[in-house]
Amino acid sequence: MEEHQLIDLAAQGDNHSIGLLAEQYAPVMLKLQSDYFIKNYDHDDWSQEALITIHRAARRYDAAQLGTFGTFYRLLLSHRVIDLIRRSRAHKRHPERDLLSLDVETDDVLEALLVTHQQPDTTVHVREVVAAFPASCSEFEAQVFMELVAGSTPEHIAVKLAVEVAPVVNAIDRCRRKLRQQLAS
């Protein structure tokens, strides 16, 4: 099937065509994902934004006026990413303090992380991954992770490590992503 046919079908909402176009233009999304950081966005979130933008681009694309579809899609996706970054940085959208899933008492952190309805071997795997996790981090990320597990807030960690809060929050996000990846493997 030719690209213009895929674009026409995608504009009508055909999920298969949207998926094929998304596969074809996946490098565009991956390049933007490597260039920009959007807080709390993982690969699945980026893929979903790419699918939505492919559909929007297909609906609005006019080959006679706009040049190539790939260029038009890249432009729309770039604008969408910039909008998402702008929204995530808007002052009114920030809570009084960042919410953390690890915000429990020091002695109960690992237990809180490991309370599951999983098989015992899964629980053992999680314990092993969490125990070995700091070794897979940079020195700064390991320090932040250990402080976080000890029950410290990002603000307290920043004061203790003599850095701004933003790098601490970014390190927490990186740790969260790395830990998810390690737990999934």
Burial of 17 (0-12, 13-18, 19+ CB in 10 A): buried
CA nearest neighbour of 109 among 92, 127, 97:
127
pLDDT for 67 equals 79
**pLDDT tens digits, the chain, 185 residues: what are they?**
788 888 888 888 888 888 898 888 899 988 888 888 877 778 888 889 898 999 888 888 887 776 788 888 898 999 998 888 888 777 555 554 444 444 444 444 455 444 444 555 566 767 777 788 888 888 988 898 888 888 888 888 889 999 888 888 888 888 888 888 877 77
pLDDT for 180 equals 82
pLDDT for 105 equals 45
H-type alpha helices, 61-134: 63-66, 69-89, 109-114, 120-132
pLDDT for 122 equals 62
Q: How far apart are CA 28 and CA 39, in angstroms?
A: 20
pLDDT for 98 equals 44
Say which residue the tokens 């830990």 belong to. 179
